[in-house]
Amino acid sequence: MDELIKDLKQALLNLMEHIDGNYQDEVCMFCGEDIVDYDTHHACPSEDCIGNAATAVLFRANEYLNGAA
């Protein structure tokens, strides 16, 4: 099961990086909201943003895999 989660996490990360690498604008590449500029990164303020949801899944997968290791 851990291998499946690793593979899914990597596929999601690759997809998000591909979209990010091909999208340059001041709006969210996933939902179109204006981007908020933080000290270290840009972020979408929308609670309904699919990009935020995908990022949350990546964090959960990392937490699971780090706890399972």
pLDDT in tens, 52-69: 899 899 999 999 999 865
Q: How many CB atoms lie within 10 A of CB 56?
A: 10
**What was the pLDDT predicted at 5?**
93
**What was the pLDDT predicted at 50?**
92
Domain count of the chain? 1
From the centroid of its chain, how far is CA 15?
9
CB 7 within 8 A of CB 66: no
**What was the pLDDT predicted at 29?**
85
Q: Which domain holds residue 41?
A: 2-68
Residue type at 65 in one-letter notation: L
Q: Which residues of the chain have pLDDT under 70?
A: 22-24, 38-42, 68-69
**What was the pLDDT predicted at 7?**
95
**What was the pLDDT predicted at 26?**
80
